[in-house]
Homo-oligomer: A and B are copies of this chain.
Amino acid sequence: MRYGAMFGPNITFLGIPECDYSDSKSYQDADVVIIGAPFDGGTSHRSGARLGPSAIRGTDYLPHDGSRPHLATRMDALKDIVVKDAGDVEMFSGDITKSCDALEKVIEKIAKDKKIPLILGGDHTVTWPNATGVAKAIGWGKIAVLHFDAHADTGDITFGSLIGHGQPMRRLIESGAVKGNKFFQIGLRGYWPPEDVLKWMAQQEMRSYEMSEIVSRGFDVVLDEVIKESIKDVEGIFLSVDIDVVDPGSAPGTGTPEPGGLTSRQLLDAVRKISVELPVVGMDIVEVAPAYDHAEITALLANRIVLEVLSGIALRKKNLQTGQVFNYSQSLLNDR
């Protein structure tokens, strides 16, 4: 019994085949299973991210035909690997505990079935059940989290709740699902968190790259360092992308926009590179709030982040099979 869509028409990501997360057979041929987490009960300010999954699935000017040949790598992420869409998990925004629990169970099941769960948020609260579910399947404390975000999301109790979109990373470290020194945060900036939280983060040996450091050292240098360090001592990578890591000019449709972020180009190239070079075992893209978007540019960016990761996963699979190495500066478009 597939749940389908919590809000709006029952569509799949760009027209890919659907599956049912309660029925392992329905996705047994899949490499990646997409799941919607339409939840925004954990946001600390503007809500709206619950409509993220439908926006990310449905936007695009190209036909919804289950094919997306990638211009730079010549992989077709929706054909060269098998990607299925399991629909949404029902997540009532008014009950954060129950909703997170429901989501975690689904993610754990999919990950235990050896599929890569790719979650469309929803607010960042969902990374707590997402990464927990994956860790339960891959190994407790045996995954690294690569975390693109303007915010560290390592807060403690907020509005009287231990759970929320500002706290998932703390919960993951406290539970042991992810070790503090396997957290790599890219794109942080602004005026949060306060000193005590920073101290806690340092104690956990988290590695956080603030934008000024990134500008000063160079984005490529930082990214290479993350790629090299993150894979040590773990079985896989969980990639968590908060759309607000990108500058609000290119990603206005989000709840807590923080000026001065990455360009969309930087993020798109980075997530693809990570997916090619590291074993991604789970991913989420969160905090797309369509009510604040303009001309769907934020939803479209999130849609492309998913496609870049899928293209990267497809290329990695091919490279592993063929032993090839991809050279980005080589122009695949013009070889004769």
- Report yes or no: B215 in contact with A45, Cβ–Cβ below 8 A: no
B295:A257 contact, CB within 8 angstroms: yes
The count of chain A contact residues (Cβ–Cβ below 8 Å) is 112
A60-96 Cβ-contact flags toward B at 8 Å (1 or 0):
1110100111111010100000000000001011111
Contact with B along A243-286 (1 / 0, CB 8 A): 00001111111011111110111001100000000000000000
- Does the CB pair B268–A259 fall under 8 Å? yes
- Cβ–Cβ contact A291 & B213, under 8 A: no
Say how far A117's CB is from chain B's closest CB, in angstroms: 22
| A48 in contact (CB, < 8 A) | yes
**A69 with B194: in contact, given A248-B297, A259-B304, A260-B268 (CB under 8 Å)?**
yes
7 A-B contact pairs sorted by A residue (CB < 8 Å): A44-B61, A47-B48, A71-B210, A257-B297, A260-B264, A260-B265, A294-B294
Partner of A210, one of B6, B46, B72, B98: B72
Complex interface: stretch among A231-239, A315-323, A325-333: A325-333
Hey, which bits of chain A sit against chain B, CB under 8 A? 5-11, 15, 40-48, 50-51, 57-58, 60-62, 64, 67-72, 74, 76, 90, 92-98, 125, 158-161, 163-164, 188-195, 198, 201-203, 205-213, 215-217, 247-253, 255-261, 263-265, 268-269, 289, 291-297, 300-301, 304, 307, 328-336
Collect the chain B residues with CB atoms within 8 Å of residue A72's CB: 189, 210-213
In the complex the two chains form, is B64's CB within 8 Å of A297's CB? no
- What's the Cα separation between A189 and B294 when bound, in Å? 21
Quick check: B294 and A252 within 8 Å, CB to CB? yes
The secondary structure that dominates the A interface is loop
Q: Return A111 CB to nearest CB of chain B, in Å.
A: 24
Given A96-B94, A96-B95, A333-B198, also A47-B50 (CB < 8 A) = yes
A267 CB to nearest chain B CB (Å): 8
Contact partner of A58 (CB less than 8 A), chosen from B8, B64, B188, B208, is B8
From B69, B93, B329, A217 is in contact (CB under 8 Å) with B329
Neighbour of A189 across the interface among B50, B71, B259, B329, CB < 8 A = B71
CB-CB under 8 A from A76, the residues of chain B are 194-195
Question: Is A247 touching B264 in the complex (CB atoms < 8 A)?
Answer: yes
